[in-house]
Structure 1
Amino acid sequence: GLFRKDEVVPLPGDRVYISIVDFTKKVGFIEEILPRQSQLVRPAVANIDTVALVVSVKAPAPDLMLLDKLLLSAEVNGIDAIICINKIDLVEAEEYNRIIDEYKESGYNLILLSSKANVGFNTLKKAPKDRITVFAGQSGVGKSTILNKIMDSWIMETGEVSSRIERGKHTTRHAELVELKDGGYVVDTPGFSSFELAGISHTTLETYYPEFSSYFGRCRFTGCSHISEPDCCVKQALTEGLISAGRHKRYAELYNLLKMQKDNEYRGKNRKGKD
């Protein structure tokens, strides 16, 4: 229920004080929700240490804009992120190397996975130890299958990908914490095909791209958008291959979208003021 006094809704991952009403029947109630160290809006989970973002190389096709938005959400909330590139057995190495090339300069840990070939799971199993790790990504990328694999047991329901539209079926309907035998918790979350950014403006967007950080303050113009201005160090790095062209293109799309939203909001306020 809603904690009306603090206007806080309990979330998976919350640390709480509880009162036990009946030990035998395991009945009790939450007395207090402790302050959260982090919180995601979508998926709605609290106190996350790491977010493992899963993208498949095929079936469904990789949605790198969605991946970028999820990485931005992690950055805004101060949560460590790793990128899991799944289903690598379905394509040639050239295909998944394209995704690696997109993110290799960003500093994120990239893990190649294939449940069929049993690749990458020994590495991935180390990530959630003594941490709360949420697995997120678009529908059908194999999050539940990955969790079953790293837990060496069948825990989560898995589903097939529609052959007609290559879109995953939502087999996970809610966020759920599962304790690991070696310490830590993992969270499977419902998949999604769209994601709206929150808590980011066009003026702060650049600060959430790790590969841009070494160029801050070095551009000719203060407040450089890194899109059209001359003498921009980020654009120079892009030309030199130090920043992914795909990442920069999607950054520009998000910058323009956020700027347009801000401009529309400003015009809306002005119209209300004149009325």
Structure 2
Amino acid sequence: MPEGKIIKALSGFYYVLSNSEVYQCRGRGVFRKRNISPLVGDYVTFEPETMTEGTVVEIAERKNELIRPPIANVDQAILVFSATQPQFSDVLLDRFLVLVEAKHLKPIICISKVDLLSDEELKNIVQYKNLYESIGYDVLLTSTETKEGIEQLRPFLEKGVSVFAGQSGVGKSSMLNALNEELNLETNEISSHLGRGKHTTRHVELMPVGDGFVADTPGFSSLDFEEMEPEDLTLCFPEMREVMDNCKFRGCLHQSEPKCAVKAAVEEGTISAARYKHYEAFLAEIKEQRRY
């Protein structure tokens, strides 16, 4: 039977790309009985029924899987955060980074709408750029109006599957349109009353950019750490991960423990105090979740 890759899931149908042809498939009933749902990004075996339709009969083992957005076999995450409208939030960015790190994905940070900034506001954003680059992340300042940063982003997308993620209204769909004009994705303006964007993307779909695929995903405003244990959190902060082995106690959570290398690095200024503050807040949240 032929094999292919699910590139879109919509209204109970799975659209499977196989040898440059797309088949509209249903999932086999056994998946529901086993509580398995095919996901966009899955490599599948399917049984053709007509020239354009078929049934998914087997799902290959996944190398990773995201819950929100629901997608599998992702190579990297393009985290799109607007410099303004909505306002840039480093705590929300750190939340996204933790969840991406937990899935062992490579994150690329795109700060959009920089054309809307004053000189003073741009200096502030550049400071954030410098901070995250010092940690080891790739950071691009972008604008779909002036095309700044768009061509610098393109090489990151040439291979594999990249998921675009971020709040609603930050310009994910606009950025994808700039990368591939044939996509013609719907975009909406920011609501001045709510200060956030409308949801313009209602399903997950893989779209070609160069030799790779990108996934535009439904925007979301909050993320939780349901699958994470307190001990896992340090591993999702690269700068803390580098020094954690120097802590006196194995399993150190970097709070009140003596001779903690992470806290010492914060005091020395080699680890950002703001990032450490976010770590503490996330840790408290994870501990609270574990109480229930």
* TM-score, normalising length: structure 2: 0.84
Specify the alignment match of 1:249 in structure 2.
277
Specify the alignment match of 2:197 in structure 1.
168
Q: Deviations over 1:179-235 (max 9, x none)?
A: 23x211110001111111232111221011111122122123333222333432212
Contact 1:57 1:95 in 2 (8 A): no
Q: Deviations over 1:77-110 (max 9, x none)?
A: 2211111111111223212123224423321111
Percent identity, please.
40
1:83 maps to 2:109: yes
Specify the alignment match of 1:224 in structure 2.
252
1:33 maps to 2:33: no
Contact 1:40 1:73 in 2 (8 A): no
Contact 2:226 2:286 in 1 (8 A): no
- Between the aligned partners of 1:110 and 1:186, the Cα distance in structure 2 is 18
Q: CA RMSD in A?
A: 1.7
Greater displacement, 250-259 / 135-144? 250-259
Aligned letter for 1:111? L
Aligned letter for 1:194? S
The secondary structure found in structure 2 opposite 1:217 is helix
- Between the aligned partners of 1:198 and 1:64, the Cα distance in structure 2 is 21
Specify the alignment match of 2:233 in structure 1.
205
Structure 1 runs not aligned, ≥5 long? 266-275
Aligned letter for 1:226? H
The secondary structure found in structure 1 opposite 2:57 is strand
The secondary structure found in structure 1 opposite 2:265 is helix
- Between the aligned partners of 1:10 and 1:141, the Cα distance in structure 2 is 29
Contact 1:12 1:44 in 2 (8 A): yes
Per-residue deviation, 1:66: 2.6
- Between the aligned partners of 1:20 and 1:240, the Cα distance in structure 2 is 63
Q: Which has the higher contact order (CA 8 A, sep 6+)?
A: 1
The secondary structure found in structure 1 opposite 2:49 is strand
Higher normalized strand content (fraction of residues): 2
Aligned letter for 1:253? A
The secondary structure found in structure 2 opposite 1:55 is strand
- Between the aligned partners of 1:46 and 1:125, the Cα distance in structure 2 is 22
1:194 to 210, 214, 222: 222
Aligned letter for 2:65? Q
- Between the aligned partners of 2:116 and 2:268, the Cα distance in structure 1 is 32
Per-residue deviation, 1:240: 2.5
Specify the alignment match of 1:215 in structure 2.
243
The secondary structure found in structure 2 opposite 1:145 is helix
Greater displacement, 74-83 / 235-244? 235-244
Specify the alignment match of 1:111 in structure 2.
140
Assess, with a 3 A threshold, how the Cα gap between structure 1 residues 101 and 246 changes in structure 2: closer, same or farther. farther
Give runs of aligned pairs for residues 32-71 of structure 1, distance below 5 A. Answer: 32-71=58-97
Per-residue deviation, 1:154: 4.3
Greater displacement, 170-179 / 221-230? 221-230
Give runs of aligned pairs for residues 142-161 of structure 1, distance below 5 A. Answer: 142-161=171-190
Aligned letter for 2:215? V
User: How many positions carry a matched residue from both structures?
Assistant: 261
1:178 to 207, 220, 223: 207
- Between the aligned partners of 2:253 and 2:127, the Cα distance in structure 1 is 26
